[in-house]
Amino acid sequence: MSQKQRADYILEYAQRELSLASFDIQPIISSTLTFITKCQPTTMTHFMNVLQQLIEMKPITPITENDFAIFFATIPRLSLS
């Protein structure tokens, strides 16, 4: 199966499945279909894991000392008196 045939098959399958799940009426559908047909499966899987972490407000990169400095610079100082 050529890359073009694979992309066409995946696109048809994705359109059918998303339609059955009523996702075809969502505004993100065209971007989703482009993403599915243009990316490699491992790239898509990795990106979806990153997206899930972002939705859950979890860091996706290692936390550094600079991150702590930025955090502590943005919180109000507590008075101990």
Q: Show the domain range for 42.
A: 3-74
What does the pLDDT look like over 22-62, one tens digit per residue? 988 999 899 989 888 888 889 989 999 999 999 999 989 88
Domain assignment present for residue 79? The answer is no
Confidence of residue 67 (pLDDT cuts 50, 70, 90): confident
Confidence of residue 3 (pLDDT cuts 50, 70, 90): confident
Domain assignment present for residue 43? The answer is yes
Amino acid at 66: N
As a whole number of angstroms, the distance between CA 43 and CA 52 comes to 14
How is residue 40 written in tokens? 């490699």
Domain assignment present for residue 80? The answer is no
pLDDT at 21: 94
Domain assignment present for residue 28? The answer is yes
> Cα–Cα distances in Å, from 76 out to 66, 71, 72?
18, 10, 8
The total domain count for the chain is: 1
As a whole number of angstroms, the distance between CA 4 and CA 9 comes to 9
pTM over 0.75: no
